[in-house]
Amino acid sequence: MSENKKNLYDLAKENGYTDEEFVNEIAQCYGTHTSLIMDKMGSGITIEHNVEFEDHTINIQCRKIIKDTRTLN
């Protein structure tokens, strides 16, 4: 039976969810503390969710790359 079990992330990916959508769904289900963290180089954002249960906390991070549109002179 255990070989038929899939984790929530795998199921979400099979159903076409992006990483960001998956994290947002988790946030809506459980209620979370969410923060946006800009990378030092400004190349991306890390979306961080701390999902708090009674006895433990799950930390989920989703990194989103932002295309750098600046040009070199």
Range of the domain at 16: 2-65
Question: How many domains does the structure of the chain reveal?
Answer: 1
**Which DSSP letter does residue 68 get?**
-
Q: What are phi and psi for residue 47, nearest 5 degrees? A: -95, 120
What are 1-43's pLDDT values in tens digits?
445 566 767 777 888 888 778 777 766 655 545 444 445 555 5
pLDDT, residue 12, reads: 77
Round to whole Å and give the CA distance between 50 and 33: 5
Query: Does 73 fall in a domain?
Result: no
Tell me how crowded residue 23 is: count the other CB atoms within 10 A of its CB: 22
Query: Does 70 fall in a domain?
Result: no
Round to whole Å and give the CA distance between 41 and 68: 10
Give Dmax (Cα) for the chain.
61
What are 39-63's pLDDT values in tens digits?
555 555 666 666 666 777 767 666 6
pLDDT, residue 49, reads: 64
Query: Does 72 fall in a domain?
Result: no
Query: Does 71 fall in a domain?
Result: no
pLDDT, residue 11, reads: 76
Both tokens of residue 37? Answer: 């963290």
